[in-house]
Amino acid sequence: MNLARLAAEAGARGTPVRAGLIGAGKFGSMFLSQVPTISGLEVTAIADLDVDRARSACRAVGWNDDRIGATIYVEDGAELAGRDDVDVVIEATGNPRAGIAHARAAIAAGKHVVMVNVEADVLAGPALAAEARAAGVVYSMAYGDQPALVAEMVDWARATGFTVAAAGKGTKYLPEYHQVTPDDVWGHYGLTPEAAAKAGMNPQMFNSFLDGTKSAIEMVAIANACGLTVPSTGLAFPPCGVDDLAHVLRPRSVGGQLEGVGMVETISSVERDGRPVFRDLRWGVYVVLEAPNDYAAACFKQYGLPTDSTGRYASMYKPFHLIGLELSISVLSAALRVEATGQSQAMRGTVASVAKRDLKAGEVLDGEGGYTVYGKALPVSQAGAAVPIGLAHGIALRRDVAAGTVLTFDDVDLGQDSVADLYRGLVSAAS
């Protein structure tokens, strides 16, 4: 409850927290918009493949010429990670291979890392967290993004003595969305391609939100950070509003829809026939609690928590997340408290690549949100040799693969790949 005070005191001492941002896209821009009004926080350097775009982003979010001129702009994220005037490196590229490389460069240079790049985290988060601990620095999830917000709620629930029955987020989902491609994504958002292009919206990125891939990535990140379980057949995306969280997201043994206690799940804001869910949680996050005793269960009712019919399960939720506008919480926590806002601990799950259509030998996969595959959350124990979505980009198929099939390493030509080796090692250790 004292983070703002700690930051202000650091600024008054002349030792503000100095952040370096890698990737000046939407998430990074949202963070940059808040920096001028946060006492004790500075952005000293920004890395982007297009430094002119980075400067333009700063101008677009309201930075004045003095602040823009005082900031260093570089193309190379590893170069930024090694700078003496950076205390915390924010990795916001969205490229999993780049994210892993940048995080390792920052850790080697003794910098804290805030990993906005969830794609990188679900590939190698436990290894990066271990490397950071060994180096005496922090590796952290990004507050404002849904995984870190859920991790905070899970930690709160456990610290107050509750069992976590379920945790996750909301999204807009229908089963047919798994086959959507960047060519037809905008109709599902109520936009024309022209309007989306004018707004600078990337169709492949937005398609990853729609086709289920981003939800799979975020639920696996939560499971890996919080020791929760990924559903054995993947996310079910049950339609559910906030009033029904405790009823739907409890074990089947007591009338709910989950395999057991301690699961991650994403809920849909639309019914399967397309009707909107009443009081949906499309933009929010939730946790479902199980009372440890009759007394606590009675308190649920007495203090107005929505419960299931047994009174033993109750829910808490946050209706919105502000993405990059909240990122400074992670940056300041790492630098001033030496504490992560969520951190991957072990590979509980992975995000398997599933063919969107019949694929032919020789075709090159185009990764998250593309035309060829979508991501499906699976427990590590169920995934076997599945190709993780973070590696399913720019690699060719060795043989034909039918639509709906989980791709395996035998299906693709990876060659010598150190990131794949790192991932396999983590999965092997967890199995």
**Looking at the DSSP assignment, which residues form a beta bridge with residue 170?**
267
pLDDT of residue 361: 97
The mean per-residue pLDDT over the stretch 26-48 comes to 97
pLDDT of residue 334: 98
pLDDT of residue 301: 92
Neighbours of 281 (CB within 10 A): 25
Residue 270 in tokens: 């639309």
pLDDT tens digit string along 42-97?
999 999 999 999 999 999 999 999 999 999 999 999 999 999 999 999 999 999 99
At residue 202 the predicted structure's pLDDT band, cuts being 50, 70 and 90, is: confident
pLDDT tens digit string along 342-355?
999 999 999 999 99
Greatest extent of the chain over all pairs of C-alpha atoms, in Å:
63
SS3 430: helix
pLDDT tens digit string along 82-104?
999 999 999 999 999 999 999 99
At residue 218 the predicted structure's pLDDT band, cuts being 50, 70 and 90, is: very high
Whole-prediction pTM value?
Answer: 0.97
Amino acid symbol at 423? Y
SS3 395: strand
Residue 65 in tokens: 């010429």
Amino acid symbol at 232? S
The mean per-residue pLDDT over the stretch 263-290 comes to 98
Q: Which helix (H) or strand (E) holds 373?
A: strand 373-379
pLDDT at 200 over 80: no
pLDDT at 228 over 80: yes
Neighbours of 378 (CB within 10 A): 25
Q: Which residue has the higher pLDDT, 429 or 87?
A: 87
> Among residues 41, 29, 22, which one has the least CA distance to residue 331?
41
> Among residues 322, 117, 92, 284, which one has the least CA distance to residue 214?
117
SS3 229: strand
SS3 35: helix
pLDDT at 431 over 90: no
CA distance 195 to 124: 36
CA distance 226 to 155: 8
Domains of the chain are 3-144+325-337 (3.40.50.720), 147-173+212-320 (no CATH), 349-430 (3.90.1210.10)
Q: What is the DSSP string of 326-361?
A: GTHHHHHIIIII---SS---S--EEEEEEESS-B-T
